[in-house]
Amino acid sequence: MPPANDSSTDFMKQIVTTKWPEYLTLTAYTALVAFTIPHYEPWADEAQAWQLARTIALLAKAEEGPSEARPPL
């Protein structure tokens, strides 16, 4: 097996040693999101919007005009 390139291993060591707080924060955030997503309960306004989007066709929604005091996009 050929010896590893010292400059690339030094570069990787420098990245890992200087950026460990960012990696730790990203890992903690990912774990928090992964834990909370299954336990999420939508609020009433979110549930109403999802129900409207699921039941009304896109063209019918556009012809109907703005609803819930929001302009159409």
What are the tens digits of pLDDT across the range 3-35?
Answer: 556 677 888 788 778 888 899 999 999 999 999
Q: What percent of the chain has pLDDT over 70?
A: 68
What pLDDT score was predicted for residue 1?
A: 45
The answer to whether 56 and 64 are in contact (CB under 8 A) is yes
Return the amino acid letter for 45: D
Both tokens assigned to 50: 């999802």
Distance CA 25, CA 33 (A): 12
CA atoms within 13 A on the CB side of 31: 6
Closest CA to 56 of 41, 43, 68: 68
Domain boundaries, the chain: 6-39, 41-73
Tell me: pLDDT of 68 over 80.
no
